A and B are shown apart, each in its own frame.
Chain A
Amino acid sequence: MKTLVVDDSSTMRKILINMLGQAGLNDFEQAADGLEAVAAVKSGDIGLVMMDWNMPNMTGIDALKTMRAQGFTMPVIMVTTEAEKDRILEAIKSGASNYIIKPFTQDVVVTKIQEVISKMAGG
């Protein structure tokens, strides 16, 4: 399963990709903003998206809404500093599958990914 890692910070993308490997996910693509993320989802076989919220050109929440409006149903985990209850609710109502607040530990990321994968498998 290919995972799309979306964050305007290249360092944060590297950190998440390393953590994906710990969760057994070694096939990935990267995007630096919401526009690139939507394009990647349209053009490839993306099975999971991990997405930042605040990015230039298009925010992660707008990219999520665009993906869902265009019929893409893959799980999307928001990975963000936006921790207010209203933001989390907005993300879930917009179709986010899970939510990780920065700063995070590897255990949290791996657990959240495994939760999403388990749900995909019908567990």
Chain B
Amino acid sequence: MNVQFINPFIESVNDLFSTMLGCEAIREQVRLTEPVVTKEPLVAVINMSGPVKGTVALIFPLETALAIFGRFSGEKSDRLTADVVDTLAEIANIVAGGAKSKLNVSDTPVNLTMPNVLENRGNTILSPASGTWIEVIFSSALGGFNLRVTMGKTKG
């Protein structure tokens, strides 16, 4: 994956946090990583297709997920509910959607799948793209979370 492609995703996270979550998402670290294996409990995943193919994954500890749900929806929960899952899916949708319009890889829009939220038990997230994953570690007033992206231009 071309490392410059991560910038639209970082910008999209920042847009979301500043616009709808009332705080800043601070980029703590950016690094390359191997196929994703994560111990954090919640992973929101969206695949991309069209002029690029790849996967966007947002990875949350439960505490961060609950805090984001509270700020986003205005409601409170102390456990993982369908509403919390719905919020994480929409968060992933907004981050991926905001990034794709900034990728500028083609006149053809990038398509996104419906987001899925997985309860991770040490799984590997597979992707239709075969390249390297880039991981961005964020902190925020709502808690820490990770963004992972792998992406490549579609041939032909």
Chain A residues in the interface with B (C-beta under 8 A): 8-12, 14-15, 18, 54, 56, 80-84, 86-87, 102-105
| Size class of the contact patch on chain B | 20 to 34
Asked whether A9 lies within 8 Å of B73 as measured between CB atoms, the reply is no
- Measured between beta carbons, the chain B residues less than 8 angstroms from A83 are 97-98, 101
Q: How many A-B residue pairs have CB under 8 A?
A: 62
Please tell me if B36 contacts chain A, counting CB pairs below 8 Å.
no
Asked whether B93 lies within 8 Å of A54 as measured between CB atoms, the reply is yes
Please pick, from B19, B93, B97, B107, the residue contacting A9 in the complex, using a CB distance under 8 A. B93
Known: A11-B72, A80-B97. 18 other contacts (CB 8 A): A9-B87, A10-B83, A11-B86, A14-B73, A15-B73, A54-B93, A54-B114, A81-B93, A81-B100, A81-B101, A81-B112, A82-B101, A83-B101, A84-B100, A86-B107, A102-B97, A104-B20, A105-B20
A-B pairs with the 3 shortest C-beta distances? A81-B97, A83-B101, A103-B19
Report if A84-B109 is in contact (Cβ < 8 Å); known contacts: A11-B83, A102-B94, A103-B98.
yes
Asked whether A9 lies within 8 Å of B90 as measured between CB atoms, the reply is yes
Asked whether A56 lies within 8 Å of B86 as measured between CB atoms, the reply is no
Asked whether A87 lies within 8 Å of B109 as measured between CB atoms, the reply is yes
